[in-house]
Amino acid sequence: MTWLLNNGNLIGQLVVAHLLIAIPPIILSFVISVPIGWVANRFSWSRGTLLTVLGLLYAIPSLPLFIILPLIIGTGLRDSINLVVALTLYGIALMVRTSADGLASVDPDVRQSASAVGFSARSQFFRVELPLAGPVLFAGIRVVSVSTLSLTTVGAVIGIDSLGSLFTDGFQRGITVEIFTGIVLTIILALGVDGLLVLLGRVLMPWVAVNSGRVNRRERRRAQRAVTV
């Protein structure tokens, strides 16, 4: 307990460092995955190819990726950019399938109606398809955000500061409270960001709450299953 009281400052710094590493990949992977998901659905050849190739990214174990990546992108091993890029790649691997599924879930009749009333391809995407795919996409971001915030801690073993540093430091010095603090704070951050995302979703997609929650839940469950299985 005394450890906790004496190290408030350190904990604060690590929380900030953790968020600085984890937040960019969550945003980047969404921004990058949605266009890829759209392309995946657009052509008959692209869906299988893109989803398989990008899905393979997820097959690369994290620690080895952290070690090999600096050679490819030219950063230092202990550079946090290294971690940000790796986490973004994982985010994309998870998010592309959800994006493709979400965009494919838009009713073709709706799409045809949209182009019939004169939406250009661009505004059809931004004003019809994207909002309608919103709930599924959001379910995907939530999964990415939780796994990214948790995966960030692994960087600590190669010396990149995050809440994971509490694990490695606590292990070396045998302070159980420190490790426990790290675990609890990581979970709190994951749940906190998840909560913020839910709020953001309510603000951006008010119709989802009004709409029958059942459909939404089914979509979300489907997206969740696509990711977990």
Partner 1 sequence: MNLFVQGILWVLDPAHYGGTEGIDTRVGQHLLISLGVLAVSSIIAIPLGYFIGHTGRGRSLAIGASGAIRALPTLGLLIIIALVVNVGLLAPFIALVVLAIPSILAGAYSGFEAVDRRGIDAARAVGMTELQIVGRVEVPLGLPLLIGGLRTASLQVIATATLADYVGGGGLGHFIFLGLKTNDYPQMLAGSIIVILLAILSEVLFSIVQRLVVPRGVTAGQPQDVRVRSPRSRAALG
User: Which parts of this chain interact with partner 1 (CB under 8 A)?
Assistant: 56, 58-65, 67-68, 71, 77, 101, 104, 143, 146-147, 149-151, 153-154, 156-159, 163-164, 166-168, 170-171, 174, 176, 179-180, 182-183, 186-187, 190-191, 218, 221-222, 224-226, 228-229
Q: Rounded to an integer, what distance in angstroms lies between the CA atom of residue 91 and that of residue 111?
A: 28
Token readout for 120 is: 């250009």
Would residue 175 be called left, alpha or beta, if left means φ above 0 and alpha means ψ between -120 and 50 degrees?
beta
Largest CA distance in the chain: 68
Contacts 24+ apart (CB under 8 A), 63-66: 63/154, 63/157, 63/158, 65/89, 66/154, 66/155, 66/158
Cβ-based nearer residue to partner 1, 111 or 222: 222
- CA torsion sign for 195, 199, 204, 206 is positive
Token readout for 75 is: 């950063």
CA dist 2 → 8, 87, 171 (Å): 10, 34, 17
Token readout for 148 is: 């990214």
